[in-house]
Amino acid sequence: MSGSFTGKKVLITGSSRGIGRATALSFAKEGADVAIHYRRDEQAAIETAEEARSYGVQALVCKAELEAPAEIDAMFDTVSSEWGALDVFMANAAATSFKPAMETKDYHIDRTYQVVIKSVLHAVQRAVPLMEGRNGRILTVSSLGSQFTLPNYSNIGSAKAALESLTRYLATELGPRGITSNCISPGVVETDSVKFYAKERFETFKNNLTRRTPLGRLTQPEDVAGVALFLAGDAAAFITGQVISVDGGLTLISYDVDGN
**In this structure, what CATH number is given to the domain that contains residue 103?**
3.40.50.720
Residue 142 to residue 248: CA distance in whole angstroms: 16
The answer as to whether 254 is a domain residue is no
Q: How many CB atoms are located within 10 Å of the residue 55 CB?
A: 17
Amino acid at 137: R
The answer as to whether 87 is a domain residue is yes
pLDDT band at 9 (very low <50, low <70, confident <90, very high): very high
For the ranges 100-109, 185-194, 209-218, 229-238, the lowest mean pLDDT is seen at 185-194
Q: Give the number of domains in the chain.
A: 1
pLDDT one-digit tens code per residue, 10-62: 999 999 999 999 999 999 999 999 999 999 999 999 999 999 999 999 999 99
pLDDT band at 3 (very low <50, low <70, confident <90, very high): confident
The answer as to whether 52 is a domain residue is yes
Burial of 189 (C-beta count, 10 Å sphere; 0-12/13-18/19+): buried
Mean local confidence (pLDDT), 204-213? 90
% of the chain surpassing 70 pLDDT: 97
Those residues whose C-beta lies under 8 Å from the C-beta of residue 215, and which sit 6 or more positions away, are: 248, 249
What pLDDT is recorded for position 13? Answer: 99
The answer as to whether 133 is a domain residue is yes
Residue 152 to residue 201: CA distance in whole angstroms: 14
What pLDDT is recorded for position 123? Answer: 99
What pLDDT is recorded for position 254? Answer: 64
What pLDDT is recorded for position 255? Answer: 53
Catalytic residue among 38, 113, 153, 197: 153
Those residues whose C-beta lies under 8 Å from the C-beta of residue 245, and which sit 6 or more positions away, are: 144, 185, 186, 187, 251
Q: Is residue 1 scored above 80 in pLDDT?
A: no
Phi, psi of 97, deg, nearest 5: -125, 90
Residue 165 to residue 181: CA distance in whole angstroms: 11
Burial of 14 (C-beta count, 10 Å sphere; 0-12/13-18/19+): buried
Residue of higher predicted confidence among 204 and 117: 117
What range does the domain containing 197 cover?
9-245
pLDDT band at 253 (very low <50, low <70, confident <90, very high): confident
The answer as to whether 258 is a domain residue is no
Residue 177 to residue 229: CA distance in whole angstroms: 21
The answer as to whether 2 is a domain residue is no
Catalytic residue among 9, 29, 160, 197: 160
What pLDDT is recorded for position 199? Answer: 79
The yes-or-no answer on residue 8 being catalytic is no
State whether residue 36 is helix, strand or coil. strand
Residue 239 to residue 182: CA distance in whole angstroms: 8
Q: Is residue 257 scored above 50 in pLDDT?
A: no
Residue 49 to residue 84: CA distance in whole angstroms: 19
What pLDDT is recorded for position 96? Answer: 80
The answer as to whether 256 is a domain residue is no
For the ranges 44-48, 67-71, 122-126, 186-190, the lowest mean pLDDT is seen at 186-190
The yes-or-no answer on residue 206 being catalytic is no
Amino acid at 27: F
Q: Is residue 63 scored above 70 in pLDDT?
A: yes
User: Which stretches of 57-195 are assigned E, i.e. beta strand?
Assistant: 59-63, 88-91, 137-141, 180-186
Amino acid at 180: T
The answer as to whether 253 is a domain residue is no
pLDDT one-digit tens code per residue, 113-152: 999 999 999 999 999 999 999 999 999 999 999 999 988 9
pLDDT band at 259 (very low <50, low <70, confident <90, very high): very low
